[in-house]
Amino acid sequence: MARKFISSGSPWEKIAGYSRAVVDGRWVFVSGTMGFDLKKGKLVRGVKAQTEAALDIIFRALRSAGSKPEDVVRVRVYVPRRSDVRAVSEIVKRRLGSARAANTTVCSPLAVAGARVEIEVTAVRNPC
């Protein structure tokens, strides 16, 4: 099976030459995703809104890949401010909790000014 490349239309995909998601066989790899409003061309305001928006973009990529949130097996969350970890974690739990995915959260600066969270996931298509 050939790889399938999925784009969200993010400006960074074009700048850095990557895909929002790559489907390779049963696996779906979704790139680090920020809470960016493509229609307005800017990050949404606030860590909670950015987390929700990032997950919305991720869920669209998963659907395009033939997968769904319940199929996520790995989540990586990057948060610059340690004080935001709890708020981000509560949203990730609410939106992805049923997947019971492996999860790593890292406090680290992000590449885009104003970004308060970046999330990447790995999912399986058509799980057993």
Per-residue pLDDT reduced to its tens digit, 30-75: 999 999 998 999 999 999 999 999 999 999 999 999 999 999 999 9
Amino acid 126: pLDDT = 76
Q: What percent of the chain stands above pLDDT 70?
A: 98
Amino acid 26: pLDDT = 95
Query: Residue 127: is its pLDDT beyond 90?
Result: no
Whether residue 65 contacts residue 31, with contact meaning beta carbons closer than 8 Å, is answered with no
Q: Considering the chain, what is the average pLDDT of its residues?
A: 95
Amino acid 7: pLDDT = 93
Amino acid 116: pLDDT = 98
Nearby residues of 34 by Cβ (< 8 Å), 6 or more positions away: 43, 50, 53, 54, 110, 112, 115, 117, 118
Record: fold of 4-124: 60s Ribosomal Protein L30; Chain: A; (3.30.1330)
Q: Which residue ranges make up each domain of the chain?
A: 4-124
pLDDT band at 22 (very low <50, low <70, confident <90, very high): very high
